[in-house]
Structures are given as structure tokens and as C-alpha cells.
Structure 1
Amino acid sequence: MRVLLVDDERLARAELRRMLASHPGVQIVGEAANAAEAALQVAALQPDLLLLDVQMPGGSGFDLLAALDDAPEVIFTTAFDQYALQAFEASALDYLMKPIEPQRLASALERAAARLGMAPAPSSAPRKLFIRDGERCWFVKLEDIRLFESEGNYTRLYFDDARPLLARSLLQLEQRLDPQQFFRASRRHIVNLAAVRGIDNADGGGLTLRLDDMAVEVSRRRAAALKQLQDF
């Protein structure tokens, strides 16, 4: 498992290196002292996992993840108090309290390895998105998102019972999505075809896609493209 250490404190990074030396399945591929440097390292090194400090000068760990198109697995390292940690626990984000205990580190690494499956991504498309909306945070697999809805320079995502806003445009997201799985139904919507439960004819020659909890209209121009999709 290829790991990138991100912490503004040199001694903290050195301590992580010391602790990780006892884990033969871990390879430390680099270090970064701030979010900007980490973004460059992620792009260049393609790590499987970030050990990521939350509070850093010039940008937090959350800021870093929000800027990445393809977020690796993450274990946050933090000195937050117990009240603040409730946000991590509510969002099921993995974290380690400083000073880090070896047993907790080992458990967190095992969970990260299980999530990764230690297999490469099947394509250049992002495996998941990191989303932060107010005090809530999510790591969401793309296949679990049933609808992307444009709201200006933002995009609202529909998955489970959540409807968070992502600070990226629909066009930015479309460029990273598999067109065989995600269909641009209109100027405002991209639909996960796996979430479509049926197709109805609409007025004016268009189509309507029925999802579990909503219906999405397909423009006439895009209706023809929908019919040409294979295995749909």
C-alpha cells in the first residue's frame, strides 16, 4: 500500500515514518508539509492512501481533498477535541488522534487496505469523490451517485438520502465520468444509468427517465443518443 504523509510538522512526519516501519505492507512514497505541496505529490505519485493532518497553514486537509479530482483513501491525523471528532464519526471518516497509538494505526491501516482491495483502479476515472457540505463530509463511490444536478458553478449530488452540493461544475464532473455508465440527459442533469428504473415518452418527442425517487427529462437531442447506448 503506497502511502503519502501530509503534515506541516516535520517531527510528526518522522514519528509516522517510525511507526509505519513495522508494517511491511506499507511503502511511504513521499511527504508533504502543506495542502498545495500535497496536491502536487498526489498527482505525481498516485498514492493509495493519505495520512493527512487536518489543520495546516494555508489550507486544511479538507481543502486538499476538495481540490482533488480523484481522492485516495484517507486516514486523518488530528488533535481535534472530542466534540469536534463527532463530525468525523457521523460521516464515517477514519481518523487517528494525536499522539497516535500503534494499535489504532494498525487497525486503521487494515481498514484502508480492505477498502482498497489492493487492486488498481480499472480506468483513469476517479474511484470516489470527497464531498464537504457544511459540517458534513462523505467519501462516495461514483456508482453510488444516481444523479448529478447543475446549480450554477456547483453540482448537487443525489446518493442514499443525502443531497450535498459539490463546488464543481457539471461540465468538470462530466469530463471525468464513464459515458457508458453516466448519461448527460440535459443541460442540468447527468444520470447514472444503473439507477434508471424505466423510460417513458414525454411531450415534444423527448423521454423521461424514472429513478426511484424522481423523474428526469431527456432533451430531444439527447434522446437519440440514449437509444444508441449499448446494453441499456
Structure 2
Amino acid sequence: MHNKISCIITDDEPFARKGLTGYIEKIDFLDLKGTCEDAFQLGELLQRQPVDLLFLDIKMPHLTGIEFLRAIQHPPKVIFTTAFEQYALEGFELDVMDYLLKPISFERFLKAVFKAKDYFTLHQETNQEVSYFFVKTNSKLEKITIDSILFIEGMENYVAIYLEDKKIITHATIKSLLEKLPAKRFIQTHKSYIIAIDQVGSVEGNILHIKKYQVPVSKYLRKAVLEAIVK
């Protein structure tokens, strides 16, 4: 991985912020962009300074880390830091990268950031190099060329990949396919849909017209989707 992982610490306890800052300074692939005392400061900082990774306390005044994560669109990856074990399940439901229980040992911190490093290395390579991938369908492996994808529809434990000339159904999740696709060319429009941005022919309200198909856009994602399409 060529680039450093940019990160922000958010915790209402000064001692906790200081401890994490010290840990981050020891890791050469982490780049600390700021520290915040609460979710409001974090929201403001993220508007000015988007980052890859948040070290986010859960129990903070006004707005918890979990409430903050649910409230924002396209959050960075998150490592929760908390003294309260009962939040672990909720954290994993929100697809956080790791869950560190205070007091956090350096060894445990290291394990979490290496997990993050592996994720970003893989994600960077995926977005830069892949022009195709294989999926299993009808007991065979079928090659999917990135350029031929129109959109993808999620159906519980399966997805339908709509190509220019056919539709392929495979056992997978929307999330797993989104991680395979180049982030600059594909965007999630709805909990069940991913589209190829340059395949959109027109936009009508909350409907995208792609060839002969109509794909919905959720109201929460509409702004980000329109910005990506219109550039």
C-alpha cells in the first residue's frame, strides 16, 4: 500500500485521546488528521477533511458514536473504542472494522490497525487493477467484465448482475460485490442496487433509466448519486 491511512480520533475523554494519539504516532502507515471531543466536532471536521478511518468512542454526550454512524452517509471505516462491552453487537451490525475495549493495550490496537491496513491495501489494489472477476453460477465459474455491467440487484442471499447481453444470478451480497468494483465507476443507489455510473441514460425523480431498465434511488442516497452521475 503506497498511501498512508488517514484517520481521526473522537473521544470525550482527554486521556483517551492522548493515549490513542501516542499509539498512532508509533505506526508509520497511519496519518492522524485531527482529534475531536464529540460527534458534532467530528461531523464538522469530516466536511473539511475526509479520512479513511475513524477511531470512534461510543458513549459521548449529545450523540453517541453509534447514532453518529447511523446519521451520516458514506462514513469512513470505523474502529470503535469504548469502555462498554454491551455495544459490541450493534457495532458489528454497522459493519465496523473492529471494536476495542478500554483500557486498550498497544498489542490489541496493533491487531486492529493491521486489519485496517489489510482492508485498504486490498481495496486499493481492487480499485486500481481489476477489469473482471469471476462468480459461481449454475455450478460453473463465469467471468464478469467490469465494462459490461449495467447494474446489480440484491435479492436476500443472491444478486442479479445485469450485463449488456444477459443477466447472471449468483450467491453473494451487494456489499461483497461493491468491494470488488472500482469506486469511481460504481455507486450504491439503494440498499438493494449498485449501478455503473456511466450507464445511466436519464434521471426521472427517484428513478434512473439504464438501457431498458429502471433502477430506484433511495432518498438518503439521492444527493450523492446525482453528484456522481452529473459529476
- Class of the TM-score when normalised by the shorter of the 2 chains: 0.5 to 0.7
Q: 1:43 to 1:74 in 2, by over 3 A?
A: same
> What's the counterpart of residue 86 of structure 1?
89
Judged with a 3 Å threshold, the aligned counterparts in structure 2 of structure 1 residues 24 and 60 are, in CA distance, closer, same or farther, namely: same
2:55–2:80 CA contact under 8 A, matched in 1: yes
Matches within 5 A, 1:150-189: 157-158=191-192, 179-180=197-198, 187-189=205-207
Deviation at 1:181, TM superposition (A): 5.1
The one-letter code of the counterpart of 1:158 is: S
> Which one of 35, 41, 44 corresponds to residue 39 of structure 2?
35
How far off is 1:57 after superposition?
Answer: 0.7
Instruction: Please tell me whether the aligned partners of residues 147 and 190 of structure 1 are also in contact (alpha carbons under 8 angstroms).
Output: no
CA distance in 2, matches of 1:51, 1:88: 13
Name the SS for the 2:79 alignment partner: strand
**CA distance in 1 between partners of 2:50 and 2:19 (Å):** 23
Matching residue of 1:96: 100
Shift of 1:40: 1.3
Contact 1:38–1:64 under 8 Å retained in 2: no
Shift of the 116–187 alpha-carbon distance from structure 1 to 2, 3 Å rule, reads: same
RMSD of aligned residue pairs (Cα, Å): 3.6
Matching residue of 2:134: none
Deviation at 1:90, TM superposition (A): 5.0
CA distance in 2, matches of 1:6, 1:188: 35
- Which whole-Å CA distance do the structure 1 matches of 2:201 and 2:71 have between them? 24
- Residue 47 of structure 1 corresponds to 51
Give the structure with the larger strand fraction. 2
Deviant stretches of 4+, over 3 Å: 66-70, 89-92, 118-122, 139-147, 181-191
Query: Structure 1: which 5+ runs fail to align?
Result: 123-138, 149-156, 161-176, 194-198, 200-206, 210-215, 218-232
Question: What letter matches 2:9 in structure 1?
Answer: L
What is the alpha-carbon distance in structure 2 between the residues aligned to residue 79 and residue 27 of structure 1? 25
Residue identity over aligned pairs, in percent, reads 24
Could you tell me how far 1:20 is from its partner in structure 2? 2.0
Deviations 1:47-68 (A, max 9, x none): 2211011111111113333343
Is the 2:187–2:196 contact (alpha carbons within 8 Å) kept by the matching residues of 1?
no
Question: How far apart, CA to CA, are the structure 2 residues paired with 1:111 and 1:8?
Answer: 25
- Residue 26 (structure 1) aligns with: 30
Match of 2:113 among 62, 87, 109: 109
**1:2 and 2:6 correspond:** yes
Structure 1 residues 113 and 183: alpha-carbon distance in aligned structure 2, compared to 1, 3 A threshold: farther
The alpha-carbon deviation at position 24 of structure 1 amounts to 1.9
Q: TM-score, normalised to structure 1's length?
A: 0.54
Aligned length: 157
Q: 1:73 to 1:181 in 2, by over 3 A?
A: farther
| Whole-angstrom CA distance in 2 between matches of 1:146 and 1:66 | 16
1:4-30 Cα distance to aligned partner (Å, 9 max, x none): 110011111001112223212222111
Aligned to 1:57: 61
The CA distance in 1 between the partners of 2:94 and 2:193, in whole Å, is 14
Q: 1:98 to 1:90 in 2, by over 3 A?
A: same
TM-score by length of 2: 0.55
d(CA) in 2 for partners of 1:190, 1:9: 46
1:34-87 Cα deviation digits (max 9, x unpaired):
111111111222222110111111111133333434322211111222x43233
**Does the CA contact (< 8 Å) of 2:187 and 2:197 recur in 1?**
no
